[in-house]
Amino acid sequence: MSKPLIVGSMAIALSLGASSAWAGDPFRTSDPRSIGDQTEAAFRAMFEQGNYVEAGRLLESAEADEPMAHAMVASLAYLEEDWSTMGSRATLTREAAEALVETDPLRGNLYIAVGHFMEGAHVIMTQGTLRGSPTALMKLQRVFSHINAAEAIDATDPELNLVKGFMDLMIAVNLPFADPEEAISRLDNYAAPPYVAQRGIAVACRDLDDYGCATSAIDRAIAAAPNNPDLYYLKAQILVQQGDEAASLEFFDMALERRDYFPTALGNQIAWERCRTNNRVNDRNQNCNRLRR
């Protein structure tokens, strides 16, 4: 399973968007919700600017009753392989969402689903697929139950469609007979903001070896958030996988210009991938493994 897609699916709750009618709601221009200034700023830092480090700093003082903030911390912990924090924040996501149901049943049910999803992912990561599968499958049933409850309230809600679209793509990419087209259409037509929705489409198409789709989607994401180094990293990966390694080096370099935006492990990973690609393109034999330490 692709690590970027898992992170996207967990962080999904997720996205932040262009200017909205209500500060703190990055998804809606009508019927906006007050999500909280600090949480909204953290999302903007991560998804629009690609600044994971700044997002983590902002989340330290984010609104404790906002489930999206806990989901964000859990996804950052996943990147750092901090399984303890990931597990505790997944549970806090679910618990905050359960409290939200009374005042906002759509978002409450949506983030209960996200919480169960992340708790299931945590079980798989800490117990392994064989031992963890029964619990994860039980959690998945609850995910679908709460997603359905949210859809019954408003099936056109952009935040809901972003989350459900990412989850459906994850399933489609990892199950051999699943059809990703409906999930891609959902993200393309109903989810917002575009730099998150199109990034999800690009990752899925890349993992499905559909490089035309992946290229179109990542170009649309970059057009919507041109200063996000994470998008340039994904563009570089797509170029490598489709065989245009020489062209990818420019995009690796653009991502690494803002290496301080990334967690250390992710920055090291990008540098390692760039080094290996450069060795192949220029027939060099540089020791790239030292860059992952």
What would the pLDDT profile of 40-63 be if each residue is shown by its tens digit?
999 989 999 999 999 999 999 999
Main-chain dihedrals φ then ψ at residue 258, nearest 5 degrees: -115, 45
Asked if pLDDT for residue 3 goes beyond 60, the answer is no
When pLDDT is cut at 50, 70 and 90, the band that residue 22 belongs to is very low
How much is the pTM?
A: 0.85
pLDDT at 182: 84
Tally of CA atoms within 13 A in the half-sphere of 155 that contains its CB: 3
What residue spans define the domains of the chain?
3-212, 228-293
Q: What are the tens digits of pLDDT across the range 259-275?
A: 999 999 999 999 999 99
